[in-house]
Amino acid sequence: MEDGCEHPEGSPIGKCAICDRTVCTECYHDVFGAMICDLHRGLEDESDWELVGFYDDAASLSERRYVLEENGVTSLVVEGDEDAVELYVPNIEKDDAFASLEASADNEYSCPECKIQFSGNMEACPVCGVKPSDEDEADQIRE
């Protein structure tokens, strides 16, 4: 397992938002204001990514990322406005990502319009404003 890069010239400046590897001034790339490492050089363009989820609690987020990783999907966390974090996956992996997220939902909803998943205590889809329908989501709510 890799801890980070080995650039004698560079000074470490943070961790890759995708794989947690240390990045330095010589090898970091920037996407959505987050740092990513050389391994993901091909993904430094924002148009390579698809937004798949909004989460307002860390536990839920790390579970979702774990599920994606198990399904071979790369994911990127971006701190959004307010308290929510945004979860992105590469465009080419988005179908797998939506399928895995939906299948593993616990207290999350998947928007019926745009498919984006969001934490159950958010009232509406942060992207398109659609409210989760009681009918579809009843089996996902446990109170």
Residues near Zn ion, by CB under 5 A:
5, 7, 10, 16, 18-19, 21, 24, 26-27, 37, 39, 111, 113-114, 125, 127-128, 130
Pairing type for strands 85-90 and 49-55 reads antiparallel
Partners of residue 51 on adjacent β-strands: 88
The answer to whether the beta carbons of residues 113 and 83 sit under 8 Å apart is no
Cβ 104 to Zn ion shortest distance, Å: 19
Cβ 112 to Zn ion shortest distance, Å: 8
- For Zn ion, the closer of residues 92 and 124 by Cβ is 124
Q: Give the DSSP H/E element, type plus range, for residue 66.
A: helix 58-70
- For Zn ion, the closer of residues 9 and 143 by Cβ is 9
- For Zn ion, the closer of residues 37 and 61 by Cβ is 37
The answer to whether the beta carbons of residues 120 and 103 sit under 8 Å apart is no
Cβ 138 to Zn ion shortest distance, Å: 19
Cβ 41 to Zn ion shortest distance, Å: 10
- For Zn ion, the closer of residues 103 and 128 by Cβ is 128
What SS3 string covers 84-123? CEEEEEEHHHHHHHHHHHHHCCCCEEECCCCCCEEECCCC
